[in-house]
Amino acid sequence: MSRSTCYITTPIYYVNDRPHIGHVYTTTICDIWARFQRLIGHDVFFLTGTDEHGQKVEQSARDRGLEPKAWADEISAEFRRIMGLFGLSNDEFIRTTDPDHERQVGVFVKKLLDSGDVYLGTFEGWYDEGQEEYYTETKARDCEYTSPISGRPLVRAKEENYYFRLSAFQERLEALYRDCPGLVRPEARRNEILGRLREGLQDIPISRTNFTWGIPIPGHEEHVIYVWIDALFNYATALGMAEPEGEVHGRRGQYWPASYHVIGKEILWFHAVIWPALLMALELEQPDCIYAHSFWISEGQKMSKSLGNFVDLEQLQGYIETYGRDALRWYLGTNGPLGATDADFSRSHFHEIYTTDLVNTLGNCASRVSAMIGKYCDGACPQDTGECAGGGVEWAEFTAAQVNASTTAMAQFDLAGSAAAAMAIVRKVDAFINDTEPFKLAKDPEQATTVGNILYRCAEAVRIAACLLEAAMPDSIARLQEAWGFDSSTADLATRCQWGGLQAGQSIQKVALFPRVEAT
Ligand code: ME8
């Protein structure tokens, strides 16, 4: 990622259901990436929001005796509230009911109508009037042209719809996939799309006339734009891409195109085929990467309301109360389903990761180092005289390599890899302490210089690891920064991660970052 502006998006979430771990997960991993890029010094725009139109939302509202907008307002506000709970640093929260979005969608669709990429077509088929549903020819034949639900005969019905000329983009999409092998990741998801492209693309209906909760087709108001088309456009309307070149467009347009559209694997088709084709039709630049992660399952099974194993907002809040917000961010960021396989969210695994990584490794190391500096150096950062202190570690080289590895992994959206490179520094500090045994040397006053050299190197290495971990665990690292007197506001990450940042004499206070929690 060489350019200095970055744009990252989450899916916009449906308001027909309450937020749960899936939504928190995708938004959190985007947040970790966004914060990391900001620390590097990049200018980041991080977008999330809610998807509020369509028949399902209309139905959910009616079921509760509410108007769709009132229902959407309620749930959207809840999604916005979770941003606060989980420390999410999005720059904008878009709603598809925002007038700015609605107006721009109209502009985009008008453009597509003018170019002929959207056209009015007729669909004819076997219709079940009771179910308001079309049957394919095969299905109609199988049920002998009679509704299996009502027993009434199917009727021959005709419907006018607007269509997007997806079939016209077949070759251009194939070329795009050939030329940009990193467009869809991970690889398994890319292969899935290549397979589907080989089956051939057909034009898709993009309007409906059987409900009203949506954005009308310009000039043909009884047609409502299909919710998926409306929703995909959010990535462009949030930056004002359909506004006339001017203030809004100019200010936010610089972030276009997206560095990452992060999504779950179930909505890959829309993002990896329809969205690129829409962008081609609108002559807008393609994203760098569409990253489709896999799913969280829970306690070994697919999450479902009936099984009662859904990790809902209340449960997540429970984890925050017991373990802290950073612990949840750490678990989601390092043990989630980022690749092509699903990941299991279980209470025991969460506890184990918290205890191993945060209590026993990072927390213990930071507290051990500051306790020794307190005891042997009166709480003041010792001086490194540069002499050999044993242990055989070239600290400046070693930390520089880890900083490089952590940054490169993050650019590739390998959050676990980035975190592992930072934690490797902490583990090395622990091994160094065990090898050099400063607590034994400290008994001999003649060894004071060596003890100082060892402890400086430990503290400095932990400081560098902390800089790399700040994006994942902003609250805890802020506490360490305060106790050790280094901060993130002054310089970019590369400068801050250079060896030698801690100054001899500065106060290093004892810090307890992650309290031990009893297993439940
Ligand atoms: O699909 N594990 O919204 P949605 C991990 N509005 N992530 C999960 C998950 C799980 N078990 N369950 C859900 C929509 N997610 C559309 C999107 S975008 C233009 C329109 C996450 O509320 C994951 O990111 O159903 C998934 O893609 C998203 O929630 C679906 O949210």
* Residue 276 in contact with ligand 1 by CB distance below 6 A: no
What's the start-to-end Cα distance of the chain, in Å?
Answer: 43
- The CB of 51 under 6 Å from ligand 1? The reply is yes
Q: Could you tell me if 45 and 92 are in contact, meaning their C-beta atoms sit under 8 angstroms apart? A: yes
Is the CB of 303 inside a 6 Å radius of any atom of ligand 1?
yes
Q: Using a 6 Å cutoff on CB, does residue 264 contact ligand 1?
A: yes
Query: What does DSSP say about strands 289-293 and 220-225: parallel, antiparallel, or unpaired?
Result: unpaired
Stronger pLDDT, 136 or 362, i.e. the higher one: 362
**Rounded Cα gap, residues 117 and 33, in angstroms:** 35
Q: What's the full length of the chain, in residues? A: 520
- Check pocket membership of 267 for ligand 1, CB cut-off 6 A: yes
- Tokens representing 68 are 């769709």
Q: Hey, whose CA ends up nearest to atom 18 of ligand 1?
A: 11
Are 64 and 27 a contacting pair, CB within 8 Å?
Answer: no
379-432 pLDDT tens trace: 999 999 999 888 889 999 999 999 999 999 999 999 999 999 999 999 999 999
Rounded to the nearest whole angstrom, what is the distance from the C-alpha of residue 13 to the centroid of ligand 1? Answer: 6
d(CA 121, CA 111): 17
* Ligand 1 centroid to residue 84 C-alpha, Å: 19
Cα–Cα distance measured from residue 230 to residue 96, given in angstroms and rounded to the nearest whole number:
7
**Using a 6 Å cutoff on CB, does residue 459 contact ligand 1?**
no
- 419 close to 403: Cβ distance less than 8 angstroms: no
Residue nearest to atom 19 of ligand 1 (CA): 232
Count of beta carbons in the 10 Å neighbourhood of residue 98: 17
Alpha carbons 174 and 198: distance in angstroms, whole number: 9
- Pocket flag, ligand 1, residue 295 (CB < 6 Å): yes
pLDDT at position 266 is 95
Nearest protein CA to atom 12 of ligand 1, as residue: 22
CA of 419 to the centre of ligand 1 (A): 25
Distant-in-sequence, close-in-space partners of 218: CB < 8 Å, separation ≥ 6: 106, 109, 110, 113
Please check whether residue 36 is in contact with residue 496, taking contact to mean a CB–CB distance below 8 angstroms.
no
CA 77 – CA 64 distance, rounded (Å)? 17
Whether 439 is in the pocket of ligand 1, judged by its Cβ within 6 Å, is: no
Each residue of 251-306: pLDDT tens digit?
899 999 999 999 999 999 999 999 999 999 999 999 999 999 999 998 888 887 77
Decide: helix, strand or coil at residue 100.
helix
Weakest-pLDDT range from 61-65, 76-80, 484-488 = 484-488
- Single pTM value for the model: 0.94
Concatenated DSSP letters of 457-489: HHHHHHHHHHHHHTTT-HHHHHHHHHHHT--SS
For 508, the token pair is 């290093």
The percent helix, strand, coil of the chain (3-state, each to 5) is 50, 15, 35
Ligand 1 atom with least separation from CA of 262 = 24
Mutating to test ligand 1, I would choose from 8, 12, 13, 88 the residue with most ligand atoms within 8 A of its C-beta, which is 13
**Is the per-residue pLDDT at 171 higher than 50?**
yes
Q: Ligand 1 pocket: which of 25, 30, 206 to mutate (most atoms <8 Å of CB)?
A: 25
Residue 213 CA to residue 263 CA, distance in Å, equals 25
Q: Are 113 and 120 spatial neighbours (Cβ–Cβ below 8 Å)?
A: no
Q: Which CA distances in Å does 310 have to 299, 353, 479, 493? A: 10, 21, 33, 38
Give the pairing of strands 133-135 and 92-95.
unpaired
Give per-residue pLDDT as tens, 148-163. Answer: 988 999 999 888 999 9
Higher-pLDDT residue of 3, 472: 472
What six digits make up the tokens of 114? 């003018």
Q: Is residue 22 in contact with ligand 1, taking CB distance under 6 Å?
A: yes
Going by C-alpha positions, the residue among 487, 330, 509 that lies closest to residue 422 is: 330
Q: 77 and 37 in contact (C-beta within 8 Å)?
A: no
| 264 CA distance to ligand 1 middle (Å) | 6
By most ligand atoms within 8 Å of CB, the mutation choice from 10, 16, 21, 23 for ligand 1 is: 23
Is the CB–ligand 1 distance for residue 231 below 6 Å? Answer: yes
CB of residue 13 inside a 6 A radius of ligand 1: yes
Could you give the count of Cα atoms lying within 13 Å of 329 in the half-sphere of its Cβ? 27
pLDDT of 335 strictly over 90:
yes
Question: Tens digits of per-residue pLDDT, 68-123?
Answer: 999 999 999 999 998 889 999 999 999 999 999 999 999 999 999 999 999 999 98
